[in-house]
Amino acid sequence: MKKAVFPGSFDPITNGHIDVINRARKLFDHIIVGVAKRKEKNPIFTLSERERLVKAVVADIKGVEVKSFSGLLVDFVKQEKACTIIRGLRTISDFDYEFQMALTNRRIAPDIETIFFLASMRYAYLSASLVKEIASMGGKLEDFLPEPVIRAVEKKLKVKTHR
């Protein structure tokens, strides 16, 4: 069985992440979405809230499991008995950071490969931080976030977005 880990902060999960999961699912039998603790990024959602939201929106996608993790990503990948990390690439500006992370992970765990999926053009510009900014100003979120996530963002930021 081909198993891969799709790690991220998912603060919150966006339509762009779901697009990557659906693409990766065509190549892998089982995908573990790894929700990282990431205290240093000051997420707006707690780890368990982020995990719960990811679970809610991937519930209908077969072969996808959601788990949270703290510590090194490569240790989590080994613990899950996977050997591939999946990341989405949107624009060229993602490349530096992703390249650095993939090579560092390879250095500390040479048996683990990183595979990149190109996000759909529809989501090439989409980022969780931009979405949070739009939300905080009451902007429309339907093109960016699944419905349960929109409701959670509105509740968290105490805003009502345009529908």
Site residues for ligand PNS per CB under 6 A: 7-9, 36, 38, 72-73, 101, 104-105
Residue 25 or 87: which CB sits closer to ligand PNS? 87
Residue 75 or 138: which CB sits closer to ligand PNS? 75
Smallest distance from the beta carbon of 71 to ligand PNS, in angstroms?
7
* DSSP code of residue 84: E
CA separation, residue 139 to residues 1, 113, 118, 120, 148 (Å): 42, 38, 27, 22, 16
Residue 61 or 103: which CB sits closer to ligand PNS? 103
Residue 15 or 105: which CB sits closer to ligand PNS? 105
Residue 149 or 162: which CB sits closer to ligand PNS? 149
Task: Decide if 140 contacts 44 (C-beta within 8 A).
Answer: no
Helix (H, G, I), strand (E, B) or coil at 106: helix
Smallest distance from the beta carbon of 52 to ligand PNS, in angstroms?
17
Residue type, 46: T
31 alpha-carbon distance from chain centroid: 12
Smallest distance from the beta carbon of 72 to ligand PNS, in angstroms?
4
Contact residues for 15 (Cβ-Cβ < 8 A; gap 6+): 122, 123, 126, 143, 144, 145, 146
Smallest distance from the beta carbon of 75 to ligand PNS, in angstroms?
8
Smallest distance from the beta carbon of 68 to ligand PNS, in angstroms?
11
Instruction: Give strand pairing partners of 36.
Output: 69
